[in-house]
Amino acid sequence: MAIPFHEPGCWAWSDALQRQHLSLCWALECDIDPMILRARQLRRQGALPQASCVEEELLPLF
C-alpha cells in the first residue's frame, strides 16, 4: 500500500502507519553503501553484535 507523503494529515498517522511508510521508503533505496544495507539486515535478523561490528567499520578514522 503506497501512501503519498503529501497526503493531508500525514502528521497524524498512527505509529504503525508511520513505520509502514518508513519501511516502504527504505525499500526504495538503491544507492546506499552495501555495508549499511548489511548492517540493517543484521539488525532485522537480531544479530545486534554483528551489526555493531559492521557499523563500526563505517565510522570515520579521524
Scanning the structure block, which residue is given the C-alpha cell 502528521? 11
Question: Does an H or E element contain 53, and which?
Answer: helix 48-57
Q: What is the pTM of this model?
A: 0.47
Q: Quick check: 16 pLDDT over 80?
A: yes
Domain coordinates in residue numbering, the chain: 31-62
The CA–CA distances, whole Å, from 29 to 8, 13, 39 equal: 25, 22, 14
pLDDT of residue 31: 62
Give how far the C-alpha of residue 36 lies from the chain's centroid of Cα atoms, to the nearest Å: 9
Instruction: Return the DSSP state at 31.
Output: S
pLDDT digits (tens, 9 = 90+) for 28-60: 766 667 888 899 999 999 999 999 999 998 887
pLDDT of residue 22: 81
3-state secondary structure of 15: helix
Q: How confident is the model at residue 5 (pLDDT cuts 50, 70, 90)?
A: low
